[in-house]
Structure 1
Amino acid sequence: MDLTLDTFLSRFQLLRPEPSRNALNQRQAAVLVPIVRRPQPGLLLTQRSARLRKHAGQVAFPGGAVDATDASLIAAALREAEEEVAIPPASVEVIGILPPVDSVTGFQVTPVVGIIPPDLHYHASEDEVAAVFEMPLAEALNLGRYHPLDIHRRGDAHRVWLSWYQHYFVWGMTAGIIRQLAIQLGVNPDRRLE
C-alpha cells in the first residue's frame, strides 16, 4: 500500500500512545523526527560529523540536550533542528511526541514528530552534520528492514536494531525510534502499512 501523508497523519493521530515513563535517565534531550510534506512523504535524517566526540558518523535525527533557555522538549528539538540543518522552527507543524527512550550517553530522549515543507533549503552545520538525506517514509516504516542485534553493556543485555538505506547505516536509537513509530502506526512486521 502506498503511504500518503493523509494516511500517515490519520493513523498517527488515531493511534497516539500515552507517553510511557520507562526511561530511567534524568538528563533531558529531544530530537525532531521530520516528516517531509509530499504526496508520498519522506523522513529527513542526518549523518553526524566524523569529527564529533560522541556518535561520530552515525545516522541521527536533528536534536540534542535541553538547554536552560528551552521552554519545553518541543522547543529544544526545534532549536536543535535549526542549529544543525537550518530548519526554521516556524516551518515545523508539530503533530505529537513518541515515548522517551534512554540513550547510552545518559540522556532521556523525547522524539518530537513534525511535518516540514518539501522546499526547505537545508544548510548543515559543518561542526555537527556531514550529510542530510531523505528516506521514503513508507520504506522507513517497513519493519522487515530492521534486524535485531543483542549486545551486552555493563552487565545488561540490550537489543539494538540495524538497517541500511542506500550507503547509510541506520542503527541504534535512530532505528529504534523509527521502529517505534512504525509499531505505533500499526505496521505489520511482515508487510508495510495495512
Structure 2
Amino acid sequence: MDSPALNLDDFISRFQLLRPQPARATLNQRKAAVLIPIVRREQPGLLLTQRSPLLRKHAGQVAFPGGAVDSSDASLIAAALREAQEEVAIPPASVEVIGVLPPIDSVTGFQVTPVVGIIPPNLHYHASVDEVSAVFEMPLAEALRLGRYHPLDIHRRGNAHRVWLSWYQHYFVWGMTAGIIRELALQIGMKP
C-alpha cells in the first residue's frame, strides 16, 4: 500500500501545532534520550539504525541513535545529540531540533525521551562498529502510516504490556522503536 505524500513543512507544522498526546506516568528514574532523525528531502526520510548483534542488550534490534544521559550532558537533548554523533557520526550542529515527545519507560529501567530533529540529506554516516551494524532510511510517510504497526500483548512480571511490530524491507521494527514511531504518527494527527 502506497503512503500519501508528506512534505517536511507539513510534518513540522503538524508536529509543532498539534497538542501533544497526554503523557503516561513514567516510573523509571534513570534518564535516557534518543534522536528521531528526520532527513530533509522533498519526500522526507526517517533515519534508523540496527544495533550490533554483539551488544549485551537489544542486540540486532532496529533503534534510534540514543542512550543514557551522562553527567557531562547539559540536557536530554544534548544527550540525544551526543549519542547520535557517537553512534552514526551525526554532528550535533547539523541537527535542527524541533521538539520532544513525552518520555516513556523502557523495559531496561530507563525513562526515555524522544527528541525530534531535522538533519541534512547529504550527511555521511559512519556507524560505530561497536554499537551499530547498519544505518538505513525509511520514507517518513511510510514510517508514520499507522496501519503498518501490529499489536502484540505480552505479560511480564504479572503486568500486561502492548508491543508494536512492523517490517520495513528486511528490517524487523518492533518494541520501543515501533512504539515511538507510532506515537509520533499520533502526535501529528495521522489517521489509520
1:146 is displaced (CA, Å) by: 0.3
Supply the AA of the counterpart residue of 1:170.
V
2:126 match: 123
- Structure 1 pair 72–19 and aligned structure 2 pair: CA distance change class (3 A): farther
CA distance in 2, matches of 1:19, 1:99: 8
1:59 match: 62
2:18 match: 15
Supply the AA of the counterpart residue of 2:119.
I
- Structure 1 pair 20–140 and aligned structure 2 pair: CA distance change class (3 A): same
1:118 is displaced (CA, Å) by: 0.2
1:2 is displaced (CA, Å) by: 1.0
CA distance in 2, matches of 1:153, 1:124: 33
**8 Å contact kept, 2:8–2:40:** yes
**8 Å contact kept, 2:21–2:187:** no
TM-score normalised over the length of structure 1: 0.96
Note if 1:109 corresponds to 2:147. no
Unaligned runs of 5+ residues in structure 1 are 190-194
Note if 1:33 corresponds to 2:61. no
Moved more, 6-15 or 67-76: 6-15
1:112 is displaced (CA, Å) by: 0.1
**8 Å contact kept, 2:88–2:127:** yes
Please list the CA deviations of residues 58-88 of structure 1 after superposition, one character each: whole Å capped at 9, or x if unmatched.
0000000000000000000000000000000
2:27 match: 24
**TM alignment of 1:73-84, pairs within 5 A:** 73-84=76-87
Moved more, 10-19 or 39-48: 10-19
SS of residue in 1 equivalent to 2:172 = strand
Of the candidates 61, 67, 72, which is equivalent to residue 69 of structure 1? 72
1:170 match: 173
1:160 match: 163
1:22 is displaced (CA, Å) by: 1.3
SS of residue in 2 equivalent to 1:160 = strand
CA distance in 1, matches of 2:19, 2:81: 21
TM-score normalised over the length of structure 2: 0.97
1:123 is displaced (CA, Å) by: 0.1
Q: How many residues align?
A: 189
Note if 1:141 corresponds to 2:144. yes
C-alpha RMSD of matched pairs (Å) = 1.0
Instruction: Provide runs of 4+ in structure 1 moved above 6 Å.
Output: none
1:20 is displaced (CA, Å) by: 2.5
**8 Å contact kept, 2:7–2:43:** yes
Supply the AA of the counterpart residue of 1:133.
F
SS of residue in 2 equivalent to 1:119 = coil
**8 Å contact kept, 1:19–1:100:** no
CA distance in 1, matches of 2:86, 2:119: 16
1:21 is displaced (CA, Å) by: 5.4
SS of residue in 2 equivalent to 1:124 = coil
**TM alignment of 1:37-52, pairs within 5 A:** 37-52=40-55
CA distance in 2, matches of 1:104, 1:155: 14
